């Protein structure tokens, strides 16, 4: 969920599933097409991964931040934007949602950290496969294999720094929101 762009929260559950699913399906379907040259294979991967990733992403988003389902669209957009940017919101009610969303981002990041050894193993296997494809494979196989290696290396090196910056901004927004809710409760504005 931490990898899900903030604009995806602007949509309802079905729209989120469609957007996330289509993105994954097109991305991986293109890999299959380049690697194998098979339109049928690309279509199967597109359909299967669009459905799987779309449904999984929407369910995970709903599970990790269940309060989002009950929020008005404008509030949800404001909360996600403020939290991801590290900014304050203008009222105590959305401020409580900022605290909830920041906590959801931290939980999602912790879940992702548990998968890091698996990503490291898959990266090592992808490098071995890319070397093998370079020596014995066709051009499409070689291109796709090395592209997968590049993406996995980016996941190992670039994404952790990006995730930490996002969590730091979410922490700032959460601190600002907690101050606002404390101030709002002290003034009797709830």
Please provide the size of the chain in residues: 190
pLDDT at 166 over 90: yes
pLDDT, tens digit, 9 for 90 and up, residues 25-69: 999 999 888 888 889 999 999 999 999 999 998 898 889 889 888
Helix, strand, or coil here: 155? helix
Q: What is the pLDDT of residue 78?
A: 87
Residue 90 DSSP symbol = S
Q: Which two tokens stand for residue 3?
A: 């990898």
E strand or H helix that includes residue 119: helix 116-136
Q: What is the pLDDT of residue 190?
A: 45
pLDDT, tens digit, 9 for 90 and up, residues 116-129: 888 899 999 999 99
Q: Under 8 Å CB-to-CB from 124, ≥6 apart: which residues?
A: none
């Amino acid at each position: 969920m931490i990898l899900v762009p903030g604009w995806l929260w602007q949509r309802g559950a079905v729209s989120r599933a469609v957007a996330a699913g289509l993105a994954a399906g097109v991305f991986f379907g293109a890999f299959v097409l380049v690697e194998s040259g098979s339109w049928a294979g690309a279509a199967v991967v597109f359909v299967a991964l669009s459905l799987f990733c779309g449904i999984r992403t929407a369910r995970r988003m709903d599970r990790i931040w269940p309060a989002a389902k009950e929020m008005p669209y404008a509030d949800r957009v404001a909360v996600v934007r403020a939290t991801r940017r590290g900014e304050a919101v203008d009222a105590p009610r959305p401020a409580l949602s900022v605290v909830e969303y920041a906590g959801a981002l931290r939980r999602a990041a912790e879940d992702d950290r548990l998968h890091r050894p698996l990503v490291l193993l898959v990266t090592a296997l992808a490098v071995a496969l890319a070397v093998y494809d370079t020596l014995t494979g066709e051009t499409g196989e070689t291109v796709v294999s090395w592209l997968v290696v590049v993406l996995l290396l980016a996941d190992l090196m670039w994404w952790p720094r990006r995730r930490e910056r996002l969590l730091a901004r979410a922490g700032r927004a959460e601190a600002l929101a907690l101050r606002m809710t404390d101030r709002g409760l002290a003034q009797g504005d709830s």
